[in-house]
Structure 1
Amino acid sequence: MSTTGSVPVSLAEIARIAGVGRAAVSNWRRRHDSFPTRIGGTDVSPQFSLAEVERWLRDNGKLDAIGGRELLWPRFEALGSRDESGLAIAEAARRMRSPHTHTPQVELTTEAEALAVEAAKLGQDEGTRETFEFLLQRWLETHVRQLSTTPPPLAAMMARIALAVRAEGTGEELTVLDPACGTGHLAAAAVQEYTGGNVAVLACERDPALAALASARLAFVADESDARTEIATADALRADPFAAARADIALCNPPFNERDWGYEELATDQRWTHGLPPRTEPELAWVQHLLAHLRPGGTAVILLPPAVASRKAGRRIRGSLLRTGVLRAVVSLPPGSAQPHSVSLQLWVLRCPPAGPDSVTPGQDALLVDATRFARAGTRETGPRWEALQAFVLSAVQALDHPETELPDGSVRVPLIDLLDDEVDVTPGRYTSASTEPSGLELAASWKEVGSILTDLARRARRLAELEFDTGRPQTTVGVGDLVKAGALSLRAGQQPPDDAVTSGGDTVPLLSVTDLLTDGTPSGRVATGSAPAVVEKGDVVVAGVVRAFRAWVHEGPPTALGPQLYALRVDPAKLDAHFLAGCLRAPSNGRQAGTHASSSSRVDIRRLQVLQLPLDEQAAYVEVFRSLGEFEARLGHVAGLGGELVNDVSDTLAAGALDV
């Protein structure tokens, strides 16, 4: 694949293109005089010409096993405009599905159109759906601050809720509506979750780039199912393209807190059967828009900010939704379920009463579900505990029409008389707080997990016990300082960044401190890119040079700045394996030998830490054992924490008198 122009790429992008770690790219740059020179950026974050990088990688045999997608993406990013690159990806997807297309469906620049053609050709070779999803995901990651998407696990859960709560339809086709579809996550999830036959998807998006990408995504989904899709580019509130349509299920993640949603021009709109939404309550306009498009028995699930459940301006509409029986359930999600990640968002479940003599009468109890306890506290993993969250929420909403069914802990049926007060607050946390005592099913699941981990630990212990050691054989070691002098590795010390480097705007990187290591290990600060002298990249070895937190590990996450008493070591892969180095350095005896031991805050002299002198091919055997030992330690720590929580949970349950005797 050829490239044109001086498209800039970073060291991280070069590593992705070549399929190696960033440390390897840094070493290529240091060891090879022919490596392309920097065309921009800073010393810490340099940028290079994609054309020159591609040529160098090909000339040096570094692209043999790597596909062309990584080479293609920087050129999409270099288009500059979010809309231009998004429309080019959508056009590429259209050409992938229709290879003989010659005329673009949207107006593109000459460069963007040529890039779409090239991407379509690549998709034919490397997989059309896979290539499109790769480009779409990279586009979403690049513009994450400008876009709000529905995470796939949440989209799947919303679709399952809607399908579980809706009254059984009589038609042969399920109609799905999403009036603010973004890039089509919710509509795609509905098609994938429905197994009952044909599906018709009606979706709308006012942003042309998002609408084009949604159309492309749903076209691929339709190719794999019996779905037919219709995507309109329009503002569904102001100019509804599906005004006469009625849906079996409706899913929506609408824009939040928009004051300019059409309050004046829509004041007499017939959709407001529960009252004109106040100017400050656009979310309640979306709620009534969904209800206006549901056929009898149809269900809508909408993602809303928590304030919609309690704001004074919307209490009259909330009261009407409750009195008419269409607001069936409210679910409080854990923070981190979707953007904005710091907020506990809510799912509102709405259902039009089924037609006929068996229809549900207004005035039912409302189901309120508090699922906030399924957040991942103190962990680097993003999002809540999706599997447990989905099981809990679905078990609650499936009992919606079965009052005799016992609800899981954390959910409650609230009579209307308790909700229709002066506030009409439907926040689940006001009426139910999940008990700290787990249910029998949760205890059983925890015991099962503990048993599984213990079985795995026993297997690992047997393998480690089979290792044979020859402690009498002399081994030579070399200090880190000598390895630095020999060029086998480089050493950089972390520092406290200046006050003006800690910013909230511009490009920043996480800042890791010793204090963070003593808590949950998650970086608690951020500093401006280029302001920190020690920034670790994937494949670097990090060493904590203080006795109380002494450890060494290979960094696997995004670029991270290091604070005081933390050190970054970057190896020459021709001489040292990073995992071998980390395994040798973190030996407790090594830390004791290099530390002063005056107090727990004493420093460790990093240059005095010792490393075995072994040829590179012999280091591999040690790396395998170091990895096994690290995995054993991690599993041991996990089962210790889980076992401690389980003991506490069972003790609380016993103290509450719940033992069946």
Structure 2
Amino acid sequence: MGDFAEMRVSRSDIARMAGVKRPAVTNWERRHLGFPDPVGGGDLDVFRADQVLEWLSGRTIPANALEPGEPTGATYGDRFRAALGGGRRSGGLLTAVEQLAVRDAERLRGPWRMSGYLYLLLFLVFVQSQDPERWSAYVENPGQAPRDLDFGEMSGQSQVSHLVRFLDRSPPASRGESRQAFDRLLTLFQDSDARASDEYFTPPSVSRVMAGALAGSGFAASRLHDPFCRTGELLGAYLDAVAEQGRKAPTGVSGRALGEGAQRLARMNLELHGAERPLVLLGPRLPSMPFDGDLSGRFDAVITNPPFGAVGARQAPPPHYWRYGTPRSQEFDWLQYVVSCLDAEGRAAVLMPAGAGFRGSADRETRARLVEDGVVECVMALPTHLFELTSIQTHVWFLRAPRGRPAGVLFVDGADLGGMATRTRRALSDADVDRLVRAYTSWRGTGHGGQPGLSRAVDPQEIAAQDHRLEPALYVREPLPSADAFQDRTAARNRLAQLSAQLRELHVEAEAVDGLAEERLRRYGL
């Protein structure tokens, strides 16, 4: 234990590192003759860390005081040694979060609902990373944390003490590790809260597709906005995408959240992902409803996952942004609002239900006007079963500021991508995400006609001929040839040559994806 002979610790340090309250150290010192003597004097008493470690190694932690992951027979010395020598090893916080939020969650959450317990963990991880002074105060008085969250004076104070002490012994090795831990907790919280409140948070793989495509579309956004930001997952994904591309984050990041809990989570999320002074205000379920706060001006990037479903009573007078028609659904109310938020060169990514692309009546008229005004740039189909509560298929609509004239639209059909991550949930792999992002960004960069089997650029006349249906499968998937088509040998040879050319293109694309995967593995030392 000589490694720590030169280190000095105070009574408060001993309490924190051993995971006990400060009076316990005084009690040990008074009642046990073998407790080390201080090497300082008066109010500045300090102790040799190696001597404290040796003494604590002989004191077994009672079974009812064991922390998550500690085996029976563990000693206070084990805790003290970890705090002295192993507290900042990379991955320690991630391991601790997995222990607290998954393996031991049911035992530790006590009287709280799972969503409330995870909310508290999110808050603690954020404070530990961003506010060292407040974190030190929580270590001394863990009960203050739930009061700061407006949980009030409630049962479960012993659980809070366990959580704070356990996290304090597993500090993050970097801000990146804090961000990863927060993201993991946020995914668990979203799954839990979705089941409890019918909330449709954006799945991580969908966030990466939307953000990666929008951020990689060839322009540097200075003002980024999400008018229905939920927990800030899309804004955070955009900030990550910009960072991966080696570009500066937008100088202005803002959003509106539905409720104070989501507002607080969104602010924490954005700060951890690198936003400076993000502005998150409360907002309504529909943009046509009144809301407070000033987010004046327009934005050069808007990204959002708005509510879906029928609207209620018609507004009188109609909002100024209903320039493409009176919406019958929430998604078209939101979509028209997003268009009104864009500056002259602005672009947006909006998650929409697949039905928005083919429903008739008022929705058809709105689609026609959007296409004729050059607003719709790309429609990308995603697979079903991506969300926690529903198997609904969604599309991403990429929009640009009105051009005053019709323009071609890129259709991307990713409906068959992804794989089942759980019994009921599908997820897009890293390769799937990269493929969808590149389908959009390469088209934006070169204006090519699309990639066979995945995407196709379609002119406005063809879209009009299809009754302005914006369904990627309608334009991308080729109809199966009839049996008679292969009676002509020349036609058959031509078709085989065409398929061979498509196969070569897919091989080139696969090699590019493999190269990207290898680069990311090297980045993580794998």
Do these two structures clear the TM 0.5 threshold for a shared fold by scoring above it?
A: yes
Q: What secondary structure, in the 3-state scheme, does the structure 2 residue paired with 1:255 have?
A: coil
Q: State the match for 1:301 in structure 2.
A: 349
Distance between the aligned counterparts of 2:446 and 2:96, measured in 1?
54
Match of 1:162 in 2: 214
Identity among equivalent positions (%) equals 18
Look up the match of 2:280: 231
Deviation at residue 71 of structure 1 after TM alignment = 4.7
For 1:440 and 1:245, the matched residues in 2 are separated by 48
- Counterpart among 56, 60, 66 of residue 73 in structure 2: 60
Choose which of 180, 183, 197 in structure 1 pairs with 2:248: 197
CA distance in 2: counterparts of 1:449 and 1:205, whole angstroms: 36
Work out whether residues 434 and 513 of structure 2, in 8 Å CA contact, stay in contact via their aligned partners in 1: no
Match of 1:433 in 2: 477
291, 302, 308: which is aligned to 1:250? 302
1:219-368 equivalences under 5 Å are 219-222=271-274, 227-235=276-284, 237=287, 238-240=289-291, 241-257=293-309, 259-260=311-312, 263-265=313-315, 268-278=318-328, 281-312=329-360, 313-339=362-388, 342-353=391-402, 362-368=405-411
Q: How does 1:434-583 map to 2 (within 5 A)?
A: 437=499, 438-444=502-508
Report how far residue 265 of structure 1 moved.
4.6
Q: Which has the higher strand share?
A: 1
Determine helix, strand or coil for the equivalent of 1:108.
Answer: coil
Structure 1 residue 107 corresponds to structure 2 residue 147: no
- Matching of residues 144-183 of structure 1 within 5 Å: 144-146=194-196, 147-165=199-217, 168=219, 174-183=222-231
| Letter of the structure 2 residue corresponding to residue 411 of structure 1 | S
Which residue is equivalent to 2:442?
Answer: 398
How many residue pairs get aligned? The number is: 386
CA contact (8 A) 2:305 2:350 kept: yes
Letter of the 2:216 counterpart: A
In structure 2, the residue matched to 1:424 is 468
Q: Deviations over 1:221-268 (max 9, x none)?
A: 22xxx64311223226224445523211111112222545xx545752
In structure 2, the CA distance between the partners of 1:239 and 1:74, relative to structure 1 (3 Å rule), is: farther
Contact 1:396-1:408 at 8 Å conserved across structures = no
Relative to structure 1, the CA distance from residue 401 to residue 140 in structure 2 (aligned partners, 3 Å threshold; closer, same or farther) is closer
In the alignment, residue 323 of structure 2 is paired with which amino acid?
T
Amino acid at match of 2:73: N
Distance 2:186 2:194 in 1: 12
> Deviation per CA, 1:12-42, whole angstroms, max 9, x where unpaired?
xxxxxxxxxxxxxxxxxxxxxxxxxxxxxxx
Alpha-carbon separation, structure 2, partners of 1:134 and 1:111: 27
Q: What amino acid does structure 2 have at the position aligned with 1:289?
A: Y
Question: Where does residue 124 of structure 2 map in the other structure?
Answer: 92
Q: For the structure 1 residues 370 and 143, does the alpha-carbon distance in structure 2 shift closer, same or farther, using more than 3 Å as the test? A: same
Q: 1:131 to 1:116 in 2, by over 3 A?
A: farther
Cα distance, 1:402–1:133 mapped onto 2, change above 3 Å: closer
Alignment of 1:136 with 2:186, yes or no, is: yes
Which of 254, 265, 269 in structure 2 is aligned with 1:217? 269
Match of 2:110 in 1: 78
Distance 2:296 2:184 in 1: 36
Specify the code of the residue in structure 2 equivalent to 1:207: G
Change (3 A) 1:230 1:273: same
Deviation of the 1:81 alpha carbon: 3.8
The alpha carbon displacement at 1:444 in A equals: 4.8
Which letter does structure 1 place at the counterpart of 2:336? Q
Q: Which residue of 1 aligns with 2:25?
A: none
Partners of 2:156 and 2:422 in 1: CA distance = 43
Which secondary structure does the structure 2 equivalent of 1:443 belong to? helix
Asked whether the equivalents of residues 336 and 344 of structure 1 are also in contact (C-alpha less than 8 Å), the reply is yes
CA RMSD, 1 decimal: 3.9
Greater helix proportion: 2
CA contact (8 A) 1:315 1:424 kept: yes
Q: 1:377 to 1:110 in 2, by over 3 A?
A: closer
- Which of 433, 448, 451 is the equivalent residue of 1:408? 451
**Which AA in structure 2 matches 1:325?**
G
Give the aligned partner of residue 372 of structure 1: 415
**Code of the aligned partner of 1:274:** Y
- Any idea what SS the aligned residue of 2:224 has? strand
- The separation in 2 between residues aligned to 1:68 and 1:416, in whole angstroms, is 54
Query: Partner of 1:576 in structure 2?
Result: none
Question: CA 1:367/1:82 → structure 2, altered by over 3 Å: closer, same or farther?
Answer: same
Shift of 1:186: 0.8
Q: One-letter code of the match for 2:368?
A: G
Report Cα offsets for 1:418-451 as digits up to 9, x if no partner. 323584211111122068955313235669999x
